[in-house]
A and B are shown apart, each in its own frame.
Chain A
Amino acid sequence: MLAMNYRGPRRVRVDHKPYPEILHPGDAIIRVTRSCICGSDLHLYHGMVPDTRVGSTFGHEFIGIVEETGPGVQKLKKGDHVIVPFNIACGTCAFCKQELYGNCHESNPEATAVGGIFGYSHTAGGYDGGQAEYVRVPYADVGPLVIPTGMDPDDAVLLTDVVPTGYQAAEMGGIKEGDTVVIFGAGPVGIMAARCAWLFGAGRVIIIDHVEYRLEFARNYGPCEAYNFRSLEDPVLFLKKETGWLGADVCIDAVGADAAGSALHTITGKKLMIQAGAAIALHWAINSVKKGGIVSIVGVYGPTGNLIPIGNVVNKGITIRANQASVKRLLPRLIKHIQDGYIDPKAMITHRVPLEEVADAYHIFSAKLNNCIKPVLIPPSARN
């Protein structure tokens, strides 16, 4: 079968790999019909995530058709077209029972701080991902959900990560009616967080980035105010002025380790790697939120540590809420929101690329070429 193959930082290609095997009674094999490249895949692509082994297949955002099931699988059958949440969750550990499906303790031997994630390095369990024709899906009775009749597959594939992560970013913000919400990062997750902030009753939504075409998209899609930090002398000062000098009620970091905007962070976090990525978006979020405000983090960082103004967190009495999205918990509500027309995920898809051209898709997304917001990879079998 064809599968994306990581060869080193900024080097990927498509190769033939063996068809995946059922390794556990709860496994299923899924024939992938769509897979996305996520902003957090770029952290892997840029070589920033420890234990990313050469030969890995990335891809944690995918949907597909059940091809084969293990003897223990009862809820899925061959031919079901399913949404596969990016988290691999057992459904029985203490954390899954508490609906913390992004924090499963029975899906990742390599690290305790993160649950298993498809195609996200050995630090997240060493699973192959969905940027391939077929993929092994463990705990198939727990995570995957049959795509509701009538749902567009382009909407469904974004329910695997982008929509729940953007939604949970807003949810964790504890947004109260009329709140001013500032989102750092106008990538797909940030744009979705902006859209979802309104669902929680925000009074004002502001998004900050430096990529003009993305700001333009966010301005219309949110709809929200959108500002380019390159044209602001100091984004924190700007936001203070915009919020009556007190700061935003809620700040959301939807950027993570690949943030631009600070030479110090870029050199120490992305070039020398002495911190776990460039954390300038989080730095700005902490400094832009009001005293007693909430900072919600969904941007992905490495496991070592980052330069952030923790003293200001204490002195301002900020609450920080962060997690990988609990996709399974949120899916029913988000499916309803799509059906009700409150969110339109597929509008974010700008590029549909054959799986065979994965190297170009990664470069286009990473370098933000051709007004790319969200690229989707389509395997040959799904194109016929």
Chain B
Amino acid sequence: MENNQSIKYNHIKGWGVDADPRNEPTYPMKRYTGDDHRRLNWERPLQQLEAVEVLHSNERPAISAVFGTTLPPAGLSGAIRRYAFKYSESSFNHWLPLLLADRINVVEGLFDDLKRGYIPNVLAEKGWKSAWKYDRKGVVKKLAMRAAAVSFIVAAWWIMNHKKKRL
């Protein structure tokens, strides 16, 4: 693009090199091939063997030709995930149980670690080394707030208990 504008912006290397008057909504997002009506009739890639349980969206007739095989559903979280996949991606009944399963899975992961005789270093997993190095004030503030919250709960519990005894 060579005009007055490009001179105005000549301190910006590459200004206007991709300016294209055709670039308006719908271009170039999609190269129209006329195949849209063919739906699922494309020549599918070879199907990967399903060696582990793979949940699939009920908005498609079968699994995709290729898929990940990591961490098949297991335990309570797995049961919840199987339930969630009975509902379409349009339904909260699909996504909210999946979020619940994720949280339950965290506890399952903790038990798995302990079962293997591994005690997770939660502080290291949360990156507290870097927090201490680069944000010591923030760490101290966080610890102080947590200590204050615990003290408050303990004090409230003690006062309630004390009152009950006096009655």
| Residues of A bordering B, CB below 8 Å | 7-13, 23-26, 47, 50-57, 72, 88, 90, 92-94, 97-100, 105-113, 116, 122-123, 125-128, 138-139, 171-172, 174-178, 196, 198-201, 203, 223, 273, 294, 302-304, 319, 321, 323, 333, 337, 340-343, 359-364, 367, 369-370
Contacts and interface: CB of A to CB of B under 8 A. Distances in A.
B35 A111 contact: no
- Chain A contact residues: over half helix, strand or loop, or mixed? loop
- Chain B contact residues: over half helix, strand or loop, or mixed? loop
Interface of B: 1, 5, 9, 12-21, 23-25, 28-33, 35-36, 38-39, 42-46, 48-49, 51, 54-57, 59-60, 62-71, 77, 81, 85, 89, 92, 95-96, 98-99, 101-103, 105-106, 108-110, 120-122, 124-131, 134-135, 138
A177 B1 contact: yes
A11 B126 contact: yes
Contact of A340 (B14, B23, B59): B14
Given A13-B125, A199-B14, A109 B95 contact: no
A54 B74 CA distance: 11
A196 B55 CA distance: 39
Given A24-B48, A199-B16, A92 B43 contact: yes
B12 A223 contact: yes
Nearest to A6: B109
5 contacts: A98-B32, A113-B89, A116-B64, A333-B18, A363-B131
Contacts of B92: 304
Given A7-B120, A174-B23, A201-B19, A359 B102 contact: no
Given A52-B102, A54-B106, A111-B57, A23 B49 contact: yes
Of all A-B residue pairs in the complex, the 7 with the closest CB atoms, nearest first, are A363-B127, A342-B14, A126-B68, A54-B109, A8-B106, A127-B68, A201-B19
Given A109-B57, A175-B23, A359-B126, A56 B70 contact: yes
Contacts of A199: 14-19
B162 to A, nearest CB: 34
Contacts of B17: 199, 337, 342
A207 to B, nearest CB: 15
Contact of B65 (A90, A196, A361): A90
Nearest to B14: A342
